[in-house]
Structure 1
């Protein structure tokens, strides 16, 4: 992943099959590796995207919400409901 110095990185379910402990370790490494880069992160685990600058929420292929974690939680919509079920 870091043999080159890409300006943009795409991560598709990078931590999906990890237990919580290993997910936290990988997420910490990714946070450091992604600093100063643009990242497109595709995730179902909300812990993976909580600190993102912008979260785009899709439901059945349709854009339903976008914003920061705090903004989306304040909306009380789809994202907030998913967060509450986790």
Structure 2
């Protein structure tokens, strides 16, 4: 179980925190967003349901925009635009 943060393409990043429980997915998301530039896109993959609420609340507080939320077979996938 290792955190993966990688560049997918131009202005696009992937953060995989599958297997981690709160508060780790939110903390790793915050760190990833801090490394990114305005309008960059971050795709987050996680499997801890309560992390979705924490990440959503953090984005609301910081003004980052959640473009998409998906949930399939216990795996969550959020797409966030850094503002």
TM category, shorter: 0.3 to 0.5
Query: Could you say which structure has the higher helix fraction?
Result: 1
- Please report the TM-score for the alignment, with normalisation by the length of structure 2: 0.40
Structure with the larger RCO, 1 or 2 (CA within 8 Å, 6+ apart)? 2
- Please report the TM-score for the alignment, with normalisation by the length of structure 1: 0.39
* Structure having the higher Rg: 1
Query: Could you say which structure has the higher strand fraction?
Result: 2
